[in-house]
Structure 1
Amino acid sequence: MKNVIITGTSRGIGLELAGIFAGAGYRVLALSRNPRPVSAWGHPNITAFAFDLSSETDLHKLESYVAGSWDGQVDILVNNAGKLVNKPFAKISRDEFEAVYRVNVFGVASVIRTVLPFMPADGHVVNISSMGGVQGSVKFPGLAAYSSAKGAVISLTELLAEEYKETGPSFNVLALGAVQTEMLEEAFPGYKAPLSAAEMAAYIFDFALKGNAYYNGKLLQVSSSTP
């Protein structure tokens, strides 16, 4: 039974992904500020606790859990948690801009740094980015903090794959297009996406299990629409 950590599991893609992994027989540690939605399932393969990516205390809690309850092994890490602020650049405050980066960049880096000592050579880190963070893609006003942070996640993934290419684990990043989630509604009110959260979660599940046999340090654009 492999061990899987997923961040951002309170809703949307992360919540669906936790259910898919657990249903397939994997042990899942579901991390989010609000663990109630996933805990309510009472699934025997899921452990969930409140988790703030920017909290050193919570990062130590994560480290202790993996070392104690999982015998020190994490096979798959999916960094799905994200924060979005939709405001014109001139109106977004420094605190709001930094809050987006604390979750989408610094939080991702901190979770990876915490989990890396427990990952085997054939482990797989999957970072979830956005088409808005892909250089040359269509950009939208109001998303300066979010999209630039997602661009940083792409570069971070490429750099870590290079740094750990001799020892593993593998690092890849998925730049998602429009998926019908609450976050999409925040970014594009009223827009109807072609894919549901469950459909995208099914794709990420398959990629997390098999993608590192084919890719390392790669950006895959998973999008059928604009946005």
Structure 2
Amino acid sequence: MSKNIVITGTSRGIGFELAQLFANEGHNVLALSRNTAPLTAVNHKNIKVLATDLGKESDIEKAVNYISLNWKNVDILINNAGKLVNKPFENITQQDFIDVYQVNVFSVAKVTQCMLPFMKAGSHVVTISSMGGIQGSMKFPGLAAYSSAKGAVITLSELLAEEYKEQQIAFNVLALGAVQTEMLEEAFPGYVAPLSAKEMASYIFNFSLTGNQFYNGKVLQVSNSTP
């Protein structure tokens, strides 16, 4: 049976591949991204692409309006959008922190908050974090804003799992290791990851559809390398 899937950060990398995986399997996808050109060019009948700056509540409301008019319910939300700044800590500005937290934490909270009224028992919220956000994991210089934000969103998901357990809406986090994406190149220039964006998207696709049967309020470390 086809499901309604909302995915953020779909212009490149994992989000771009995920949208197509779901659409090719007959699911309805609402793809939210500032840059709509890549998925618009794919021109898939099951993908609705909305130009969305996640820092603007008015843009998120456009997604809410689309769902209200066309879907009525959301089965899966994948908070995939991310922003990374790679700078020595002494050079990171307050604005850098705000910009990174806006996409990686505040927007995750806002999008989730807006989608929850459309979600019923059995729905699944999957948030993409990073091994850098896991306490006790290896940390790397230059990623103070990014990794701390990815840690914050893990705790947020754990809290929401508890708050919405009576509604039987599951919240889980996938803390990803290295995947060959443009963002990885920003964090670790020249590093070659063991996994492609398409391979990781395939894992997230399956987890999003079935993981809530086995997990709620959990963080799964999806990594076979360091970083």
TM tier, shorter chain?
A: over 0.9
Q: Distance in 2 between matches of 1:182 and 1:60?
A: 28
Query: Once the two structures are superposed, what CA deviation does each residue of 1:191-223 show, in whole Å capped at 9, x if it has no partner?
Result: 000000000000000000000000000000000
Specify the SS of the correspondent of 1:171: strand
- C-alpha displacement of 1:168: 2.4
Checking the alignment, whether the CA contact within 8 Å between 2:50 and 2:63 is kept in structure 1 is no
Specify the SS of the correspondent of 1:61: helix
Identity %: 68
The residue number in structure 2 matching 1:160 is 160
- C-alpha displacement of 1:49: 1.4
Specify the SS of the correspondent of 1:63: helix
Q: Distance in 1 between matches of 2:60 and 2:202?
A: 28
Runs of 4+ in 1 over 2 A off after TM superposition: none
Aligned pair count reads 226
TM-score, length-scaled by structure 2: 0.99
- C-alpha displacement of 1:120: 1.1
TM-score, length-scaled by structure 1: 0.99
Query: Once the two structures are superposed, what CA deviation does each residue of 1:29-79 show, in whole Å capped at 9, x if it has no partner?
Result: 011000110111110000001101111111211111111011x10000000
The residue number in structure 1 matching 2:56 is 55
- C-alpha displacement of 1:166: 0.8
Q: Distance in 2 between matches of 1:167 and 1:25?
A: 27
- What amino acid is the match of 2:87? K
Unaligned runs of 5+ in 2: none
Specify the SS of the correspondent of 2:167: coil
Cα RMSD between the aligned structures? 0.5
Q: Distance in 1 between matches of 2:30 and 2:108?
A: 16
Are 2:64 and 1:66 equivalent residues in the alignment?
Answer: no
- What amino acid is the match of 2:46? N
- What amino acid is the match of 1:123? S
The residue number in structure 2 matching 1:111 is 111
Where does 1:124-135 land on structure 2 (aligned, <5 Å)?
124-135=124-135
